[in-house]
Every structure is written in C-alpha cells, then in structure tokens.
Amino acid sequence: MIKRLYVDNYKCLSNFECTFDHINLILGLNGSGKSAIFEVLRNLQDVVTGTSPISIFKSTTLTRWQKRDVQTFELEIEGNGGVYQYRLEVRHEAGTGERRIQLESVTYDGNPVYRAGLGRIHLFGDDHSEGPVMTGSWTQSGIPFLEHSSSKLVWLRWWFRECLMCLQIDPLNVQPMAEAADPTLGANAGNFVAWYRHRILPDMSAIVGLRESLRELYEDFSGLNLTGEEVQHLFLSLGVSEERGKPKFIQLGFRELSEGERALIILYTLLEVLRRDPDMTLCLDEPDNFLALAEIQPWLLNLKDAVEANRSQSLLISHHPELINYLAPSCGLLFEREKNGPVRVKHFEAETGDGTLTPSEMVARGWE
C-alpha cells in the first residue's frame, strides 16, 4: 500500500506531502489538486513500467508561480515485508524543452536497491551490497529493462505493473473484446476485457467470488463468459424465464449493457481483486459516476469490507453525498488551496452533537 506521497513543482503541488491509510476519501473543491495526485501516480507507473519515457512530465506541468526547473516525486510503498521509497527527479532543460532524469532511486527499509542519474545506473544486491555500474538512459527509467536485478527491485516492478490502479472509469470507451491478456488496467478501464483475461480468468476462485457478488445485482445471474479463441468477447449470462420448469438463459454482449451496468461490473470485479490481493492499491476518481443512488451504498459497504478483510488499499475522490457521509468522518482527507497557491492537506473533522450538519452538508456550505 502507498504510505506517503511527496510532490514538488508539479502543477499546484508544491512541497506537497500526504500520508494515506488503507482507505481514504479525498475531498476538496475543483482545482484543489485531487486529480493531480492520481495523475502523478499514473505517470510514475508509466515511467517505472517502461510505458512512457520521462517526457510524460511535460513542461506545462511545472508550477507556474515558481522558476525552478526540477520536479521531485517520492513514493513510499509498504509491501514485500518492508517499506520501499521510490524517488524521481526530473530536470527540464531551459530553452530546449528536453527532460532528463537527474535522479532515480529505490531504497528498501532505508537500504539502497537502485540508483540512476546523469546517464549511469548503480545496482545493488539483495543484501544491499554494491553491484555493477552500467550506462543508462537520460530520458527513460532503467527499472523496466533490467534483466538481472535484485528480487526487491523485481517485486517493486511487479507492484507498479499489476497492483497500482489509478482509474476514472469510462464505460462508454470500454472495448467488449480483447486480442490478448493485459496485466495493467488502463486509466479509463477501456481494456477491461484484456485485463479480465489476465487477472480473473485464470483464477477459478475469483470467478466464483465475482459470480456470487454479481448475483446480488442480477437475479438468476449465471456468469461472465469469454467466447472466442484469439479475439475473445465478454458476455453476461442471465436467466430470464422458465421453459417447462427449466431456466432459460440468454447471453448479452458487454456493449448491450447500459453504461451504468458496465461500470458496476467493473467496480465489483475490482472489489474481488481487493479481497484477494493485500498488495493492491486501487485509486478511483468519481466511482459514483453512472451509478444509481440505490447502487452506491451496497458497493461502498462491499468496498470497505474488502479493504478491511484483506488489508489492501483504496483511495477515492468523490463529491457524492453518500460517499462523503459514509467515509469522510473516519478517513476523509481535505485538500485546500489559499488564493490559488499550493495545496495543503488536513484530516476532515465532522461535527458532533444534536442538530449538527451531516458531513456532506458541511462540505456543501464550506464549513468543513
């Protein structure tokens, strides 16, 4: 799980620091930096997994009221029996627009695992002893391309690829089929079927668990089925009537479902992964989009149960009263900016006593 995030010189995040628990609801006005932290996490994920070079940190993301040309990111991750710290410093070359890795480092419980910068890579063994030094890239992380690296670095690379998910689900853009499995779920969940092939399909217990969860949503739900060989299509199997005392089942293609139904299936599939993998960190921006009011609370209860049962992690951004009232008093983080300055964070403090406002009413009136 993510324990701490530090960001400096990225949009409105200047000397910004935030610590997280197993579940947090991030609150704040539009423009207060909520989505920016998920954007940072996605960018770091893309760099560490080799999806994008360092140019993903565009010059337009430099904090406008500062004149410094280095962006700094630190991420503390608890897992693999210890605490990792990943640090990245990106230098923006004045006049040319080029971006270079000034420093990229990984430590485990304070001991060195990997260090790179200025075109050189320093590796360390599992016992943190000095390893080989090699030529590295100025514009791309060396972490995804190292074939012979320590087991600690291998774990971190796996965590970024498969356990960190920063999503704003857009069911309108979800493809109903996939040519291959994909270990990483995209930012809008557009490759959900490919990710489902990788993460759920090989695990029969996950398939059974998901089927039981979705039976709470659909009467006579039979399952999610993938059909085809190389290109596989996702179908929903439902019982709709009876013929001579036997249930009759129909297959509905994923695109035949409503946008809300697609979103719900994705959300409940994510819950199944949270229940099974304690290393999962699920970041959801506005998960209530496309959901009916009656569907939000059951999903929230299931989310909290999944995180608490497995000690996984979920970070949420939402303006919805249902989420605010349920989560803000115990795990709300309030993002604030003064006069369009840097973002600062404080814990949400709910009122107590008779006649007090609900947390969502406090937020609506600006009294939090």
pLDDT digits over 24-57, tens only? Answer: 999 998 888 999 999 999 999 999 999 999 999 9
pLDDT surpasses 80 at 95: no
Count of structural domains, the chain: 1
In degrees, rounded to 5, the angle at the alpha carbon of residue 86 between the alpha carbons of residues 327 and 151 is: 110
pLDDT surpasses 60 at 353: no
Task: Give the whole-angstrom CA distance, residue 340 versus residue 321.
Answer: 25
pTM over 0.75: yes
In degrees, rounded to 5, the angle at the alpha carbon of residue 141 between the alpha carbons of residues 139 and 146 is: 135
Residue 17 lies in a domain: no
Residue 85 lies in a domain: no
Length of the chain, in residues: 368
Mean pLDDT of 56-62: 93
Q: For 201-231, what is each residue's pLDDT tens digit? A: 999 999 999 999 888 888 778 889 898 888 9
The mean of the pLDDT values for the chain is: 91
Q: Are 24 and 316 in contact (CB under 8 A)?
A: yes
Task: Give the whole-angstrom CA distance, residue 195 versus residue 312.
Answer: 19
Quickly state the pLDDT bin for 61 (edges 50, 70, 90): very high
The HSE-up count of residue 33 (CA atoms within 13 Å, CB side) is 28
Lowest mean pLDDT among 28-37, 39-48, 158-167, 232-241: 232-241
33 dihedral zone (left: phi>0; alpha: psi -120 to 50; beta)? left
Helix (H, G, I), strand (E, B) or coil at 178: strand
Would you state the pLDDT for residue 293?
86
Residue 86 lies in a domain: no
Which domain covers residue 215, as residue numbers?
Answer: 168-276
Q: Are 293 and 322 in contact (CB under 8 A)?
A: yes
Would you state the pLDDT for residue 304?
92
Lowest mean pLDDT among 56-60, 224-228, 337-341: 337-341
Supply 41's token pair: 């996490």
Return the percentage of the chain with pLDDT > 90, whole number: 70
Residue 291 lies in a domain: no
Residue 3 lies in a domain: no
Residue 141 lies in a domain: no
Residue 192 lies in a domain: yes
| Single-letter amino acid, residue 251 | Q
pLDDT surpasses 80 at 144: yes
For the stretch 51-72, what's the b/e string if a residue is b when 16 or more beta carbons lie within 10 angstroms of its beta carbon? Answer: ebbbeebeeebbbeeeeeeebb
Quickly state the pLDDT bin for 147 (edges 50, 70, 90): confident
Residue 255 lies in a domain: yes
Quickly state the pLDDT bin for 92 (edges 50, 70, 90): very high
Would you state the pLDDT for residue 251?
87
